[in-house]
Structure 1
Amino acid sequence: MPPPHLNSELKIKVCGLTRWEDAELALELGADYCGVIVYPKSPRAATRQQAWELCQRIPAGKRVMVDVNTGADELENWADLGFDHFQIHCDIDVNLATLAAWRGIVGKEQLWLAPKIPPGEAFPQTMLEFADTILVDAYHADKYGGSGQTGNWELFAEWATLYAHKRFVLAGGLNPDNVTEAVRVSGAETADVNSGVESQPGIKDHAKLRALFAALGR
């Protein structure tokens, strides 16, 4: 059972997967989503062959493509590969036509937008009409996620409450030692873990994965 102060319906996404043995364990432990990064500049990027193989084995509904500023043709190709959800990291001033194109290709329900929001910036409300899911990651000047840094959990809670008609996903430096506090403070209904359960980029540490799910009462 989860600790009494945590949401019993909390969903967990394990991201940065490149190997089936890691995805398989995550699923056995209770992962709701498996994220596969296809952004070539990421140290956790899966090859197209790896992504295809993972999509063949991860159950339908749980397969999440993760990319940065995806081109329309690229997004169509990844959708054809078998992904169910499409997490796209972007700048807060991304062109509205680009957002509309992404929504048109995969649908509002399947699009997860992850805007890169600098400290002190207001939440980009214009994005809300294009996606039902918003992922909030820790800000890093040179990276789009995967920095290992923790974000502002209190601010996440404010945004998730203010825009409660959307689903907000908490990401950024979550690990077995801080995940319960992060979820408690943020009130997150979905948490995204990546570098905090790795042995090296793209390779999951099975002991850390087990410890994280155990901390959440899984």
Structure 2
Amino acid sequence: MPDIRVKICGITRPEDVDACASGGATYLGFNFFPKSPRYVAPDSAAALALRAPVGLAKVALVVDADDATLDEIVADVALDMIQLHGRESPERVAQVRARYGLPVMKAIGIAEAADLAKIDSYAPVADQLLIDAKPPKDAVLPGGNGLAFDWRLLQGRKYWQKPWMLAGGLTPENAAEAVRLTGARQVDVASGVESAPGVKDAALIRRFVAAARGEA
């Protein structure tokens, strides 16, 4: 099996950076959405990013952020990628990519087959795609709700000619099955490796990475 890349999202503490590094993660996600229990301020994220070893990619998760907000984040934090997790249009994705010169990953919520059509609008302008579970209508958070969608919706698809990442309700218990059903080569987890919201568990991170890579 090809190596599966793992993104651990919602990093808030130095020990969580260390756990991701030692546990075999590929990406660290910093959540800059103020309503999230995993929110981290840019100055705190800057110190966490500097703690990460070379080769561990740092990703900024933002939700419908304006240029002023992004300017502050990009100026303060040593980043490798921006993740747009709101209702950003394809045009906005292209603007962010051009303005900051960083790769952009666009999150797209999926609940039913009809939602897959949205992916075709974003694939030409994003560097990567994050295929996530669509949040409930009354949800405060656009992601990180611990919800999965029907992974069979992705079976047999050719995946839009861009690198993509599977998210939504992934845990150490179901990661291997999710990879098997979807053919994902990248997976994203937040709540599935936490002992409390925003508090990562080093043992769960190790178990998740091993499960995703078929090593468990």
- TM-score normalised by structure 1 residue count: 0.87
Q: Deviations over 1:13-35 (max 9, x none)?
A: 11111011011111111110011
CA drift at 1:96: 4.2
Q: Which runs of 5+ in 2 are unaligned?
A: none
Q: Deviations over 1:100-152 (max 9, x none)?
A: 32121234x61000123453334222212211200011111223110101122
Please state whether the residue corresponding to 1:90 is helix, strand or coil: coil
Mapped to 1, the partners of 2:12 and 2:51 lie a distance apart of 12
- 1:64-103 counterparts in 2 under 5 A? 64-80=59-75, 81-91=77-87, 94-103=88-97
Q: Deviations over 1:69-88 (max 9, x none)?
A: 12122222222221111111
- 1:25-36 counterparts in 2 under 5 A? 25-36=19-30
CA drift at 1:95: 3.7
Supply the RMSD in Å over aligned alpha carbons: 1.9
Residue equivalent to 1:114: 107
Residue equivalent to 1:59: 53
Residue equivalent to 1:11: 5
Residue equivalent to 1:136: 131
Please state whether the residue corresponding to 1:13 is helix, strand or coil: strand
**Contact 1:76 1:105 survives alignment (8 Å):** no
Tell whether 2:172 aligns with 1:176: yes
One-letter amino acid of the structure 1 residue matched with residue 202 of structure 2:
H
1:154 to 148, 152, 155: 152
Mapped to 2, the partners of 1:214 and 1:100 lie a distance apart of 35
Mapped to 2, the partners of 1:78 and 1:158 lie a distance apart of 38
**Contact 1:29 1:210 survives alignment (8 Å):** yes
Mapped to 1, the partners of 2:178 and 2:105 lie a distance apart of 21
Between the two proteins, the alignment pairs up a number of residues equal to 207
Q: Which shows bigger deviation, 82-91 or 123-132?
A: 123-132
Runs of 4+ in 1 over 4 A off after TM superposition: none
Mapped to 2, the partners of 1:154 and 1:204 lie a distance apart of 29
Tell whether 2:14 aligns with 1:42: no
Taking every aligned residue pair, what percent have the same amino acid on both sides? 34
Mapped to 2, the partners of 1:49 and 1:77 lie a distance apart of 10
Residue equivalent to 1:200: 196
Q: Which runs of 5+ in 1 are unaligned?
A: 1-6
One-letter amino acid of the structure 1 residue matched with residue 67 of structure 2:
A
Mapped to 2, the partners of 1:180 and 1:26 lie a distance apart of 19
Mapped to 2, the partners of 1:122 and 1:207 lie a distance apart of 34
2:15 to 18, 21, 24: 21
